[in-house]
Amino acid sequence: MPWLYPKLKPKALLWARPWQQQLQARLAALETIRFGDNCFVAETAQLFAERGRDIELGDRSHVGAGAFLHGPISIGREVGINHDCSFDGGSSGIRIGDYCRIAANVKIYAFNHGFGANALVCEQPVTSQGVLIEHDVWIGTGVAICDGVTIGAHAVIGMGSVVTKAVPEYEIWAGNPAQRIGDRRDKPDYHPG
């Protein structure tokens, strides 16, 4: 479990840390990828970051098994990207703020194809506005986020949603297309105990 990596006992870190250092060094040698301290990348994750389409992972962030990331992508500190996610930064990029949680099978595409009737789909122009996910955002399993979307800080996106427009800070959105269903500030405070 990648989120356990920085919390491993010293005995487990004896083998886990060198394994991650070798894996990350191999990726950084092949692609334009920068890793912060104590990052974890699953061996089956696929990271593609040719020149001009860099990928950057902040300290203590992790990328789960089967994830596919194609830059440009900038990932903040302590971000969890779970298994089988697929992100493509197009030409304008994906930026993810600190402390975000992104569940399994989330799709983020920062580009779009034209589809006018005047030409074949394969001949249509491609546009890219970029995607911004601010800090402390929780994105549920199976969410799709379209190009040009900004998700405000502290927002929550419900499982299976398709996000086609900006989500304000603290709001809870769900559905296809996603729409506002609540606000985190209306929820009772959580006190672990």
Q: Computed over its alpha carbons, how large is the radius of gyration of the chain?
A: 18
Question: What's the rounded Cα separation, in Å, for the pair 151 and 177?
Answer: 14
Which residue in the list 83, 113, 135, 191 is annotated as catalytic? 113
Q: In sequence order, what are the residues at sequence separation of 6 or more whose Cβ sits closer than 8 angstroms to the Cβ of residue 173? A: 155, 156, 157, 158, 161, 163, 167, 179, 180, 181
135 as an active site residue: the answer is no
Question: What's the rounded Cα separation, in Å, for the pair 193 and 188?
Answer: 15
Pairing type for strands 131-133 and 162-163 reads unpaired
Residue type, 65: A
In this structure, the chain runs to a length of 193
Catalytic amino acids?
Answer: 113
